[in-house]
């Protein structure tokens, strides 16, 4: 396995997106958040139920956009050939790199390549390295996944245009998950102190169908995949998550195939 697996790959000109300071600061304690762990597990089950049989999935090269500390990446990695894990927050990628390095909890995982960059160009050379061989390749993926990222993205059409360009023509598929904007109460998904980098309080079915179809995706499907029970502040800004009520947050699964 190439040494890039245990080394953070960084495009230093592209990691300055809105909200990255917050995520860099949160990275060390990210995995200790039970809501994040639960949401990731529920998303993983949703992905597996929508993907091909294990024999076919095992040949897939996957791109994850907004991988964070690699919670979802490391769940999916045993099921696929390779996974390129991209995040704009270097702190998050540093945590994932440590997990994969010698002595790390996932040092035996040899098919995940962490990349710190804000991916805006599907032809960016930074994603055109095979995670398994370490050699240059075409960089077109069978599958692109993204979990709890869309509500941080100002221009969803631009993001999905990039995703479209990274997929194999005719067969490449995108599957994303994020919480649904079900009304004003959806804002409570985030504590008021964590609003830095939040562009929208969830996504809607109509919005996502329009975005995916507008970019050119075929076989577009947007549906509720699961419901996350999450503790929230008793009142916005109180900072009392430990004592606040538990709310249900439905998540939408967005799918499409590159034409």
From its phi and psi, is residue 219 left (phi > 0), alpha (psi between -120 and 50) or beta? left
Beta bridge partners of 229: 248
* Helix, strand, coil distribution of the chain in percent, nearest 5: 35, 25, 40
- Look at the block and give the residue holding tokens 């809501």: 35
Task: Give the SS3 label for residue 200.
Answer: coil
Structure tokens at 73: 């990446």
pTM for this predicted structure: 0.91
What pLDDT tens digit does each residue of the chain (259 aa) get? 333 333 445 443 333 344 567 676 777 777 889 999 999 999 999 999 999 999 999 999 999 999 999 999 999 999 999 999 999 999 999 999 999 999 999 999 999 999 999 999 999 999 999 999 999 998 899 999 999 999 999 999 999 999 999 999 999 999 999 999 999 999 999 999 999 899 999 999 999 999 999 999 999 999 999 999 999 999 989 988 889 999 999 999 999 999 9
- Look at the block and give the residue holding tokens 């979802």: 72
- How far is 24 from 32, CA to CA, in rounded Å? 15
Task: Give the SS3 label for residue 154.
Answer: coil
Q: Are 222 and 211 in contact (CB under 8 A)?
A: no
Strand order, beta sheet including 9-10: 9-10, 112-116, 82-87, 61-65, 143-147, 173-179, 246-257, 218-231
């Amino acid at each position: 396995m190439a040494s890039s697996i245990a080394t953070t790959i960084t495009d230093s000109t592209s990691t300055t997106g809105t909200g990255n300071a917050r995520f860099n600061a949160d990275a060390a304690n990210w995995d200790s958040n039970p809501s994040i762990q639960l949401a990731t597990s529920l998303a993983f089950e949703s992905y597996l139920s929508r993907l091909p049989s294990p024999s076919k999935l095992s040949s897939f090269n996957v791109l994850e956009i907004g991988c964070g500390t690699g919670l979802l990446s490391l769940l999916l990695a045993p099921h696929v050939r390779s996974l390129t894990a991209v995040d704009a927050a270097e702190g998050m990628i540093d945590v994932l790199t440590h997990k994969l390095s010698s002595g790390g909890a996932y040092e035996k995982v040899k098919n995940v390549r962490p990349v710190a960059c804000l991916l805006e160009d599907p032809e960016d050379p930074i994603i055109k390295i095979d995670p398994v061989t370490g050699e240059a390749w075409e960089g077109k993926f069978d599958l692109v996944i993204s979990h709890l990222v869309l509500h941080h993205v100002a221009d969803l059409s631009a993001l999905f245009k990039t995703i479209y360009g990274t997929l194999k023509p005719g067969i490449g598929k995108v599957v994303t998950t994020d919480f649904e904007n079900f009304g004003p109460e959806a804002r409570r998904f985030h504590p008021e102190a964590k609003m830095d980098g939040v562009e929208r309080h969830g996504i809607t079915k109509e919005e996502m169908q329009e975005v995916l179809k507008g970019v050119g995706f075929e076989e577009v499907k947007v549906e509720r995949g699961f419901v996350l029970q999450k503790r929230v502040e008793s009142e916005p800004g109180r900072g009392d998550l430990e004592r606040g009520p538990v709310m249900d947050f439905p998540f939408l699964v967005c799918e499409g195939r590159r034409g």
